[in-house]
Amino acid sequence: MADHKLDAGGFILQVHQYLNQYVQVGDAKAAALLAASGGAALLAVPTATYPIQALHWLTVAVFGTAVIYCALILYPRQSPGQKGLIYWENVVSYPTDDEYANAMSSKTPAQLEAEFAKQAWHLSLVLSKKYARLRIALALFMYGSVLGLGDIITSHF
């Protein structure tokens, strides 16, 4: 087995990259599910001549709820007014670029690694919420699909 050396800074950077990849994947899944659920909800809106209106509207409501969950997944987190060295909304809280640069240069490498580790923890919290909502949205989509299929079958018999 090869001898791999990874210092704390390199490790936390890899963790951060790993977490960011999951953010991107989760957002892509949510966007696709948002589009599919929105389209399915529009297709499920009943016509005036449709015999079983309640099933139709239930299907629309389930797909609509999936759309809401997907929108919550995609809505960016907010961190108002807190100064920090990594998250972009925290960085912009510094009044000037010089103040940010001074804050960054006043930290030791160990302190910078600790800042990165804290950011990884916060990012993990965001991911946990994002994927919990994604599981709910996916379950709603599947339930809506079953209702929609039932809707189609009952309309033809």
Report d(CA 22, CA 10) in Å as an integer.
19
Looking at every residue in the chain, the average pLDDT score rounds to 85
Look at residue 109 in the predicted model and tell me its pLDDT: 86
Look at residue 3 in the predicted model and tell me its pLDDT: 61
With a cut of 60, say whether residue 135 has pLDDT above it.
yes
Residue 34 or 110, more confident: 34
Backbone angles phi, psi at 20, to 5 degrees: -65, -35
With a cut of 90, say whether residue 141 has pLDDT above it.
yes
- The pLDDT tens digits for 71-118 are 999 987 776 667 888 888 888 889 999 999 999 899 988 888 888 888
Look at residue 81 in the predicted model and tell me its pLDDT: 65
Q: What is the pTM of this model?
A: 0.80
Q: Any idea where the domains of the chain sit in the sequence? A: 32-43+52-155
